[in-house]
Amino acid sequence: MSDVVKKDSVSINDPSTTTTTASQATSPVSVPDVDNYVAYTIKNTKALPPITWSNLLNELNWLSVYILTVPPVVGVVGAFYVKLQWETAVWAVAYYFLTGLGITAGYHRLWAHRAYNASLPLQYILAALGTGSLQGSIKWWSRGHRAHHRYTDTELDPYNAHKGFWYAHVGWMLVKPRRRPGAADVSDLRHNPVVKWQHKYYRSLILFMGFILPSLVAYLGWGDAKGGFIYAGVLRLVFVHHSTFCVNSLAHWLGETPFDDKHTPRDHMITAFVTIGEGYHNFHHQFPMDYRNAIKWYQYDPTKWCIWVLSKLGLASHLKVFPDNEVRKGQLTMELKKLRRTQDKLSWPSDSNDLPVISWESFTSQAEKRPLMLISGFIHDVSNFIEEHPGGEHFIRNYIGKDATTAFFGGVYDHSNAAHNLLAMKRVGVLHGGSPHGLDDKRAIPPSQRLRIARYTELLAPGSSSTYSDGEDGLL
């Protein structure tokens, strides 16, 4: 299943790859010693009042409002006055991917999840590119994202998808949070020299990486500083913003759950295209320390391939992959759930414990009044099938009141799976003592039930014993 995992890759549970120092292991995060931290925190911390039209202006996060509203306006207006040159268009797309990778390969997979190790030069490059996306510092971004993973879909999730698509997309940034996100340990980032460098020069880096550099490249390259500013700077920033935001919204709304359906994250190709490969989000939430989002070679995940190429160039190492055996267990679990849902929509034969037990004498006596026959120890009522029998009704009538087991299993005709399944639906009783000549047990189980999916609770539930019920009223 692993398409790019070679000798440079390591398993997530390999202790030899641990690089955490003693100082990093000391976490200043204070977490109460309680069984249910989420419930405890919600109960013992007071949330801010709900946002209404009357208090909306006071509850807005104005810095985020400016960052998310001014660039689109400036970009759209600027596009009316600045002609787009093809060189600028190519540069804008290229810079979109570069700054986007600063988030996906840098902020997300490197610093938030430690999915691989990066050389110092690569860390500085990713930190600078990520800053050009204007999404906060590495430390702030990673702290929120780790809380999101730890408390997914709860009140302590900073971008809880249960609060709506648009809240998860931008709402959580536009308004002041109603409560503080859950505790998350970022002590490893406090000691990272690159993280500290970015934090120290963050404002200067925003201006340079976000607007000056894209304008400067366009100016020096083909004399289009204005175009570089509008298209590779401002409008590129808008696209990077909403591309990343889709990981919090679209990736929790569109797609399938092939690994686990406990939470909202989903996998979808469209989301992957929109987010530079972050669209296989169900996999990511199940295996967050894996450097991949897409595990198939044909799935779109340029971030994964970028990290892989960097590892071949010696700039990245210790690419972490979750054990394939455990990944496949998750897939199997979801496949079994789908089969169980299909199974529950079908009608099945009555359980033997729910059928009356009839003596041979009572069976033959009742067969004189209604078309009953014995097959595999079960008594079947074939009244609505006599005329429909493909082999002719005389074969059915010939075995009424008799044991037709041998004839059914090849003595006359070796019936198909469909015939076995249909026959089982006509059970009305169980012969006391079973078949007179003995029987292979598996013949009594119709093919449709031999691989039936059972829940864990069903496997543990004790079966009720059948009650002996002989006589004229024995068959129901």
Place of tokens 């880096």: 205
- Please name the amino acid found at residue 118: A
Tell me how far apart the alpha carbons of residues 410 and 439 are, in angstroms, rounded to a whole number: 14
Q: What is the percent of the chain where pLDDT is above 90?
A: 63
Taking residues 94-123, report their average pLDDT. 97
Tell me how far apart the alpha carbons of residues 138 and 186 are, in angstroms, rounded to a whole number: 10
What values do phi and psi take at 357, rounded to 5?
-95, 125
- pLDDT of the residue at 30: 62
User: Which of 178-182, 378-382, 449-453 shows the highest mean pLDDT?
Assistant: 378-382
pLDDT digit string (tens) for 346-401? 998 888 888 999 999 999 999 999 999 998 889 999 988 888 888 778 888 888 99
Taking residues 439-468, report their average pLDDT. 65
Question: At residue 12, does pLDDT exceed 50?
Answer: no
3: confidence class by pLDDT, cuts 50, 70, 90: very low
Q: What mean pLDDT is reported for the chain? A: 87
Query: In Å, how far are 84, 131, 274 from 90, measured between CA atoms?
Result: 10, 21, 18
23: confidence class by pLDDT, cuts 50, 70, 90: very low
Question: At residue 455, does pLDDT exceed 90?
Answer: no
Pair 265, 251: CB distance under 8 Å: yes
- pLDDT of the residue at 18: 36
400-429 in b/e burial notation, b at 16+ Cβ within 10 A? bbebbbebbbeeeeebeeebbbbbbebbbb
420: confidence class by pLDDT, cuts 50, 70, 90: confident
40: confidence class by pLDDT, cuts 50, 70, 90: confident
Tell me the β-bridge partners of 175: 60
- As a CATH number, domain 352-460 is 3.10.120.10
What does the DSSP assignment read for 112-176?
Answer: IT--SEE-HHHHHHHHHHHHTT-S--HHHHHHHHHHHHHTTTSTT-TT-GGG-HHIIIIIHHHB-
Q: Which residues contact 225 (CB under 8 A, 6 or more apart)?
A: 215, 216, 218, 219
Structure token digits, residue 102: 């600063």
Name the residue among 324, 280, 328 with its Cα closest to residue 300.
Answer: 280
**Which sign does the torsion angle of CA 74, 75, 79, 84 carry?**
positive
The pTM of the full predicted model, rounded to 2 decimals, is 0.81
Could you give the maximum distance between any two Cα atoms of the chain, in Å?
103
Q: Which residues contact 314 (CB under 8 A, 6 or more apart)?
A: 119
Angle CA(453)–CA(458)–CA(459) in degrees, nearest 5? 85
Q: Where in the chain do CATH 3.10.120.10 domains reside?
A: 352-460
Question: At residue 17, does pLDDT exceed 80?
Answer: no
Structure token digits, residue 153: 């879909």
Pairing of strands 117-118, 316-317: antiparallel
- pLDDT of the residue at 73: 97
- Strand ranges, E, within 283-416: 316-317, 319-321, 357-358, 372-375, 378-381
Pair 358, 474: CB distance under 8 Å: yes
Place of tokens 């679990």: 333
